[in-house]
Structure 1
Amino acid sequence: MGKVYLVGAGPGDPGLITYKGVQALKKADVVVYDRLVNPLLLYLAPKKAVLHYVGKAPQRHTLTQEQINQKLVDLGSQDLTVVRLKGGDPSIFGRVGEEAATLTAAGVPFEIIPGITSASATVYAGFSVTERFVSEKCLICTPTAKLVEFAKEPLAKISQGGSVVIYMGMERLAEVCQHFLAQEADPNLPVAVIQWESWGRQEKVVATLATVVAKVAQKELQNPALVVVGPVAKNGEAPSWFEQLPDFGKRLLYVTDKELSFDDMLHYTSKGVDFYPYYVGQAYDQRFDDLHERMALDFKHYQVEYASAEAKTAFESLPGGLNHEGN
């Protein structure tokens, strides 16, 4: 019998994973990972580790939750160390309870390792969801499953002297704002929408209940994004410490024929870079072929740098369809 570790990967910045999460990844035989996990974390797993992608995009699920649960049971029933790597904190809208219950019923040992949730990482956008004398309470919620129940929450009252932090709310942003207004919330109440929070590609809109839907549409923000309603959201108007890092906003596809350490990768992300490594030549690792294929359409948004002339030659000789742009 093996063991399953249900691990929170944090909100995006790969440096935010817990030390205990790193330890679990370093001994993994199998990593079962989600769509919103920063792919740099996969390089913490041993070379022998098998990587299974089970991401769920809106309306596009690789596997259903029930199928993921069964996969964990099947893998954990073998003599394997399995890491189920989930974005953020798996206990905050991460369905960790369902996975744990399935493992318990099957008699498979497991351990839960929490992660940093998105509500904590609003500091990357320039504000904290709580602030003494300004925001002294916080409601973390989602309107995805039961919008009717969401509307019954005292949203306007909480947001007067606190923050309402809404996960997975982008598809219903207009309805969410209407529910606040229906409870007589001030139309000028600040709202912040943060897309790809704590990644180098982070973008945000700071507006009001009356204007946020139009501003989000104008800037074309989409999932994944966090919505924060309350007075502290206004503090996000100024560039944050993260957004003032020297290379913030740079998206770098780094092609290399030499393996990088995790610290090498963090050297880039610590400067605000949205960093993605692409191994070729002697460093090539076929386990990442599937990930590269899913990322291929995004490569046009990245600046390409090469570790060596040999790496550039190897990359340019790959089959077409990578859809990248070099510099």
Structure 2
Amino acid sequence: MGTKNGYVSFVGAGPGDMGLVTQKCLDRLNKADVILYDRLANPRLLRHAKDTCEFIYCGKLPDRHTLRQEKINEQIIYHALSGKYVVRLKGGDPSIFGRVGEEAEAVSNYNIPFEIVPGVTSSVAAAAYAGIPVTHRDYSNCFTIRTGHRSDKNCMYDAKSENLGDTIAYYMGVKNIEVNCRQLMDEGKDPDTPVAVIEWATLGKQRVAVATLKTISDTIAKEGIKNPAMTIVGDVVKLRSKLSWFEKQEFFNKKVLIVDDTSTGQEIEAYFSNKGAEAYTIPTILKKELVLSKEKIEEIISSEQLVFSTAETVTSFLQQLVKNDYTTWELPRKLGFVEECASTVLSQVGLKGRKEIESKSSASILQTKPVGSISGGTSNIYYIHELVQDNRFTEVNERMLREEDWNTVIFTTETSVDFYLNERKRLGLEYQSTPFAYIGESVKEYANARGVLSIDQSIQSELCNYCIRCEKE
């Protein structure tokens, strides 16, 4: 695929649910040098990119665009002509109202090689997750897709030349829903035809409003349904009362923010997502292999104190120690740990450390860092950490904090409590007394001491079940 002009892959990201992403999509993300992604592409997908990949947000809201289409085309072409592998990541399927035709045309004009990778289209997926099959032998023999807003060149539908279809799906149709419903009634649709509007389809925050052509506009206004949303029109909507399944999951519509500065947060995220929750992990963490030179080890073991952040850092450091012909006898007399699991690994090799609270928001920038004394002095203390924050996700994570109304916050460490409170303060967001859940009594006590008091008992109980299962495995 590589050429001197680079390569462009227009990739469908599917409707939102991470399980509905194609293997080819993940493969292309892994190869990309640059990813230009839309608002409707699940930001969790970016975690599949390599560490050196650049992210460019092209998010579009109904009333404002981060990048205009012309600028998006220019960015794709610029990076491809620089010899890079460019992925243009689009929600749903790029060929269905995804402007892939316009963007591929622009690329083709520069003789840049490209491909189009289909994705699960949002209309079919949204209907399925709302318990609505788009076709049914008793209700619908054909299916039509329409855009909810049209370009000036294609401003009206011609009802005489178009087969309406028993089921009709409108993409991006919330703003013009009243106009579109009136148009359908003018084209001969019964005003009492059932209509479903599905917001944030396939995700744990999905909401569905059901009414008729003549009443749906008032219904979605009353229920506050907004974009992104898919509109399904037709008698198949009647089946929702029997076939609704997604909403029956245990934690459906529960919005859970996991704050985790270790490497376990995304596993917890997947666990609750599979139970119907809208779950997301901040900050986004990269795991870096700990590689230390003999000189660096000499510097570290000559320090007054050594603090390990996680169990993994203990294991990795001891491996480096043995590799360079050192023994545990040569370690500093004072050892510390941040997570309890690190203490367990230390004890397995006959070492004992004391509990320390170290601010990872600053210390985690480097793999190893000499810091001032935890007690406030100036002693030489080395902090060993293999995890770093991925700064490419700063904008994504800020949007998730600003735009989402989280029901519950899960803290995995004491320092994750600090991170969450400090981030809200940095972004100018008032602290809300959001219920929380935790891993470890020390985390609970620390959160309480910082003024986070209310516990979400249902999430806490499930989190305990998750931890017990992990221990058994």
Task: Name the TM tier (shorter chain).
Answer: over 0.9
**What is the letter of the counterpart of residue 241 of structure 1?**
W
Give the aligned partner of residue 278 of structure 1.
282
Deviates more, 1:277-286 or 1:65-74: 277-286
Residue of 300, 311, 317 corresponding to 2:416: 311
Give the aligned partner of residue 124 of structure 1.
129
Higher RCO, 1 vs 2 (CA within 8 Å, ≥6 residues apart): 1
Give the aligned partner of residue 38 of structure 1.
42
> Which of structure 1's runs of 4+ aligned residues deviate more than 6 A?
none
Query: Mind listing any 5+ residue stretches in structure 2 that lack a counterpart?
Result: 285-359, 365-387, 436-473
* SS of equivalent residue, structure 1 residue 268: helix
* Change beyond 3 A, Cα 1:134–1:182: same
* SS of equivalent residue, structure 1 residue 48: coil
Residue of 13, 19, 24 corresponding to 1:15: 19
User: What is the CA-CA distance between 1:181 and the residue it aligns to?
Assistant: 1.9
Give the aligned partner of residue 111 of structure 2.
107
User: What is the CA-CA distance between 1:236 and the residue it aligns to?
Assistant: 2.2
Post-superposition Cα deviations, 1:242-286, rounded to whole Å, max 9, x if no partner, equal 111111101111110123586664333221111111017344221
Give the aligned partner of residue 80 of structure 2.
76
User: What is the CA-CA distance between 1:324 and the residue it aligns to?
Assistant: 5.6
User: What is the CA-CA distance between 1:106 and the residue it aligns to?
Assistant: 0.9
Contact 1:297 1:323 in 2 (8 A): no
Residue of 208, 212, 233 corresponding to 1:208: 212
Q: Does 1:152 align with 2:257?
A: no
Residue of 146, 152, 156 corresponding to 1:141: 146
- Counterpart CA distance in 1 for 2:104 and 2:269 is 32
Post-superposition Cα deviations, 1:29-50, rounded to whole Å, max 9, x if no partner, equal 2111001111111111112211
**What is the letter of the counterpart of residue 412 of structure 2?**
A
* Change beyond 3 A, Cα 1:15–1:260: farther
* SS of equivalent residue, structure 2 residue 109: helix
> What does 1:117-266 correspond to in 2, within 5 Å?
117-121=121-125, 122-146=127-151, 149-153=155-159, 158-159=164-165, 162-237=166-241, 240-260=244-264, 265-266=269-270
Give the aligned partner of residue 357 of structure 2.
none
- Counterpart CA distance in 2 for 1:157 and 1:108 is 38
Residue of 397, 421, 427 corresponding to 1:292: 397
**What is the letter of the counterpart of residue 60 of structure 1?**
R
Contact 1:143 1:150 in 2 (8 A): no
Post-superposition Cα deviations, 1:41-77, rounded to whole Å, max 9, x if no partner, equal 1111112211110111112111111110110011111
Contact 1:155 1:183 in 2 (8 A): no
Contact 2:199 2:227 in 1 (8 A): yes
Give the aligned partner of residue 70 of structure 2.
66
* Change beyond 3 A, Cα 1:132–1:324: farther
User: What is the CA-CA distance between 1:213 and the residue it aligns to?
Assistant: 1.2
* Change beyond 3 A, Cα 1:297–1:46: same
Contact 1:253 1:299 in 2 (8 A): no
User: What is the CA-CA distance between 1:301 and the residue it aligns to?
Assistant: 3.3
Post-superposition Cα deviations, 1:64-98, rounded to whole Å, max 9, x if no partner, equal 11110110011111232211110000000000011
Structure showing greater radius of gyration is: 2
Give the aligned partner of residue 95 of structure 1.
99
Post-superposition Cα deviations, 1:160-212, rounded to whole Å, max 9, x if no partner, equal xx101111111111111111222332221111111111111100111111221
- Counterpart CA distance in 2 for 1:111 and 1:324 is 46
Query: Mind listing any 5+ residue stretches in structure 1 that lack a counterpart?
Result: none
Contact 2:258 2:269 in 1 (8 A): no
- Counterpart CA distance in 2 for 1:264 and 1:108 is 41
Contact 1:206 1:236 in 2 (8 A): no
- Counterpart CA distance in 2 for 1:176 and 1:302 is 35
- Counterpart CA distance in 2 for 1:30 and 1:193 is 34
Question: TM-score, length-normalised on structure 2?
Answer: 0.65
Give the aligned partner of residue 385 of structure 2.
none
* Change beyond 3 A, Cα 1:265–1:29: farther
* SS of equivalent residue, structure 2 residue 72: helix
Contact 2:135 2:141 in 1 (8 A): yes
User: What is the CA-CA distance between 1:322 and the residue it aligns to?
Assistant: 4.0
Contact 2:421 2:431 in 1 (8 A): no
- Counterpart CA distance in 1 for 2:32 and 2:189 is 49
Post-superposition Cα deviations, 1:2-26, rounded to whole Å, max 9, x if no partner, equal 2111110011112211000000111
- Counterpart CA distance in 1 for 2:265 and 2:179 is 45
**What is the letter of the counterpart of residue 41 of structure 1?**
L
**What is the letter of the counterpart of residue 102 of structure 2?**
E
Count of matched residue pairs = 325
* Change beyond 3 A, Cα 1:125–1:191: same
